[in-house]
């Protein structure tokens, strides 16, 4: 058996020759990222994790695999197919290209500029109104769970952009849709890791309870939109993602997308739009609180350049005037990207060489984003949180090595939107409010981690597709007061 084993030279635990069960268990329990990181630390840049699976952690290998459609997505993405294959889950090159073409204008910078005022109302005005309310209720001092409220504001943004209406999650202190998204991601990870369970998806109620609610919500939105169009009550000047898909025609059939196809795309947009950006902002605040000197420098930069409470900070002005703030965003994307899983691809017939190992046709290669972000050929002291690395002469080159939004032909189409949200929400939040950790916080600048050269201890994370803090209700609280201008 070993003689004919084409992966026999790839290092890894002995059991990986026979089964990928340890990897699947790690994925099921949220230990996905830590499991793969530990294997790479032990065995090197390419490691075997199953009879037909390897994981890669080098940036050069990552970009090689992601550069073209030669490496199709692996069958594991079928676990993320809601109703029908979508922009995210499809393994077909033509369908992916078509969906990107159909939705591309909404996520282009031109398309986003056209709704900038709407985004400012949600990301700045509505969000700041809620924080003011929290502070006023506390007679000048409020306790604020930023994980929760960042999810609420990104939910409102994607509601407007995808469906043409807000969820009012910020105003109402939440919306059920954020819980549906979080639980659906966990089940999808389970389906991806254990394909045999997909046959039981509609038999066991717990498997479908939340994604069924999510799908019904999107189906109702499609029905509502069609009713508005048919009655002549839809505002044709408002072009959102749902409308773009509804007026699009399939290049295969020449027909509009079916209801099932529309629902699949809307579910995908909502899941991707809520979790990834909110988690990035969560880690950003987390690191500011762990590194007070970084927090102070960011706040000083923001308030020096934008000293007026009444004026918003537009994202374009933030890009021009806040280089250190932007450097901290890049560093957080690098050290704790919101996507925790590896991007799985299938090796084409000609095979591929990854870091000196010949990987044969049909092998699943999992390209670990967290591994690429710790590649010592690119990153000096990768475990160290150091925004300064994005301020020096190599800054622009290093920014291109951050693959938090993937790379190549499958790069995240909503990358521009995510940057706009982060800069609008966080910059204006820090301009108007002062933050500090609660006295009972289990983490802080003086609570050190010997495994990180006595750098501040970072709260543990958990990976179910995305990579949030493991205990956000406990570990994502700050004391908020209004800044006196």
Q: What is the pLDDT, as a whole number, of residue 211? A: 79
For residue 147, is it within any domain?
Answer: yes
Closest CA to 337 of 405, 269, 286: 405
Tokens representing 452? Answer: 């990180």
Q: 455-456 and 448-449: which strand pairing?
A: antiparallel
Residue 5 lies in a domain: no
Residue 481 lies in a domain: no
Q: Which long-range contacts (CB under 8 A, 24 or more apart) does 16-25 make?
A: 16/48, 16/49, 16/50, 16/51, 16/53, 17/48, 17/51, 18/51, 19/50, 19/51, 20/49, 20/50, 20/51, 20/53, 22/49, 23/49, 23/50, 23/53, 23/193, 24/193, 24/194
Residue 128 contacts by C-beta under 8 Å, 6 or more apart in sequence? Answer: 428, 429, 432
Tens digits of residue pLDDT in 213-232 = 888 999 999 999 999 889 98
What range does the domain containing 182 cover?
14-467+472-476
Residue 470 CB partners (closer than 8 Å, separation 6+): 30, 459, 460, 461, 462
Residue 417 lies in a domain: yes
Rounded to an integer, what distance in angstroms lies between the CA atom of residue 91 and that of residue 96?
8
484 occurs within a structural domain: no
pLDDT at 435: 98
Looking at the structure of the chain, the number of domains it has is: 1
Ligand-binding annotation for 412, yes or no, is: yes
Burial (CB < 10 A; 0-12, 13-18, 19+), residue 396, is exposed
pLDDT digits (tens, 9 = 90+) for 426-455: 999 999 999 999 999 999 999 999 989 999
Cα(315)–Cα(116) distance, integer angstroms: 9
Instruction: Report how far residue 286's alpha carbon sits from residue 291's, in angstroms, rounded to the nearest whole number.
Output: 9
The predicted pLDDT at position 430 comes to 98
The residue ranges of the chain whose pLDDT is under 50 are: 1-2
Whether residue 150 lies inside any domain: the answer is yes
In CATH, what number is assigned to the domain containing residue 278? Answer: 1.10.630.10
Placement of tokens 């999992």 in the chain: 366
Q: How confident is the model at residue 77, as a pLDDT? A: 82
Instruction: Decide if 6 is inside a domain.
Output: no
| pLDDT digit string, tens, across residues 181-207 | 888 878 777 777 777 666 666 666 666
Q: Give residues with Cβ within 8 angstroms of 35, minimum separation 6.
A: 22, 23, 26, 27
Please state, in angstroms and rounded to a whole number, the distance separating the CA atoms of residues 54 and 344: 9
Specify if 485 maps to a domain: no
d(C-alpha 100, C-alpha 412), whole Å: 10
Tokens of 290: 């762990």
For residues 482 and 432, the answer to whether their CB atoms sit within 8 Å is: yes
Q: What is the pLDDT of residue 1?
A: 45
């Amino acid at each position: 058996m070993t003689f004919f084993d084409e992966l026999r030279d790839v290092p890894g635990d002995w059991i990986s020759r026979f089964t990928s069960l340890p990897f699947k268990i790690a994925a099921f329990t949220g230990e996905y990222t830590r499991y793969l990181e530990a294997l790479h630390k032990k065995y090197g840049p390419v490691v075997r994790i199953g009879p037909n699976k390897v994981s890669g952690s080098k940036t050069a290998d990552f970009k090689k695999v992601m550069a073209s459609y030669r490496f199709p997505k692996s069958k594991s993405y079928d676990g993320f197919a809601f109703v029908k294959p979508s922009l995210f889950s499809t393994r077909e090159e033509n369908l992916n290209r078509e969906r990107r073409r159909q939705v591309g204008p909404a996520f282009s910078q031109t398309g986003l500029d056209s709704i900038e005022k709407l985004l400012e109302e949600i990301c700045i005005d509505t969000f700041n109104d809620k924080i003011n309310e929290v502070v006023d209720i506390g007679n000048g001092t409020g306790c604020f769970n930023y994980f929760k409220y960042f999810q609420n504001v990104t939910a409102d943004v994607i509601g407007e952009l995808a469906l043409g209406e807000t969820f009012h999650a910020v105003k109402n202190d939440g919306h059920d849709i954020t819980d549906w998204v979080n639980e659906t991601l966990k089940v999808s990870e389970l389906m991806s890791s254990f394909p045999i369970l997909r046959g039981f998806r509609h038999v066991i109620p717990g498997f479908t309870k939340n994604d069924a609610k999510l799908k019904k919500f999107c189906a109702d939105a499609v029905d509502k939109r069609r009713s508005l169009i048919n009655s002549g009550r839809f505002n044709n000047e408002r072009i959102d993602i749902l409308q773009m898909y509804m007026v699009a025609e399939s290049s295969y059939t020449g027909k509009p997308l079916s209801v099932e196809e529309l629902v699949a795309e809307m579910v995908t947009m909502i899941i991707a739009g809520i979790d990834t950006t909110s988690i990035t902002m969560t880690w950003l605040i987390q690191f500011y609180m762990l590194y007070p000197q970084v927090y102070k420098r960011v706040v000083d930069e923001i308030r020096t350049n934008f000293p007026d409470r009444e004026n918003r900070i537009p994202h374009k002005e933030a890009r021009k005037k806040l280089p250190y703030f932007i450097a901290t965003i890049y560093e957080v994307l690098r050290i704790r990207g919101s996507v925790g899983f590896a991007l799985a691809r299938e090796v084409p017939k000609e095979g591929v060489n990854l870091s000196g190992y010949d990987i044969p046709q049909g092998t699943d290669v999992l390209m670990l984003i967290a591994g690429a972000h710790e590649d010592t050929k690119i990153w000096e002291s990768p475990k160290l949180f150091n925004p300064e690395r994005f301020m020096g002469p190599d800054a622009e080159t290093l920014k291109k090595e951050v693959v938090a939004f993937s790379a190549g032909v499958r790069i995240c189409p909503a990358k521009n939107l995510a940057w706009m949200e982060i800069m609008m929400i966080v910059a204006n939040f820090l301009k108007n409010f002062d933050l500090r950790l609660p006295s009972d916080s289990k983490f802080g600048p003086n609570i050190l981690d010997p495994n990180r050269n006595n750098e501040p201890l970072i709260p543990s994370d958990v990976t179910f597709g995305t990579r949030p803090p493991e205990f956000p209700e406990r570990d994502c609280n700050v004391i908020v007061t209004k800044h006196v201008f």
